[in-house]
Amino acid sequence: MKKVLLIGMVLLLTLTGCGKEETKVNEDQNIISQNTNDNVIKRQEIDGIVFDNVILKINGNMSSFTVDVTNNNKEKENIKYIKVTAYDNQNKKLFEFNSYIGDNIDTNQTLKLSSNVEGDLTSVYSVKYEIIK
């Protein structure tokens, strides 16, 4: 009797849609996209510091920027901050920010630099880094 009652309840829930998750897509909501331009995601090296694995995601009017920073030098590097500048395809500056990753980066250590930027950065064509010591 319990099995029949349980099967009946499961069938009833299935038919009525109870417990069913529904995903609604609002046309006004922002869709997440990613900038995969070769000049944005390319590996760059400055004085033994490597910038690699760049991710630039865009969600409407907000964008997030993430890059791995690796010290390939034989000694620890003292870095105050890293300046990141993004340009469009006509070399016009779109945004710039300074990011603090810690006072030191040990040899062969990789740290993640990330920042959120207001604006749709799908038009970013290239990114340049400057190490401030």
Helices within the chain (DSSP H only)? 2-16, 38-41
Place of tokens 């009946």: 8
Which residue ranges of the chain lie beneath pLDDT 70? 1-31
The SS3 assignment for 17 reads coil
For residue 77, the model assigns a pLDDT of: 96
- Report the DSSP pairing between strands 126-132 and 81-87: antiparallel
The residue type found at 67 is V
For residue 123, the model assigns a pLDDT of: 87
For residue 101, the model assigns a pLDDT of: 87
Q: Which helix (H) or strand (E) holds 71?
A: strand 62-71
Query: For the chain, which domains are there?
Result: 30-132 (2.60.40)
pTM of the model as a whole: 0.74
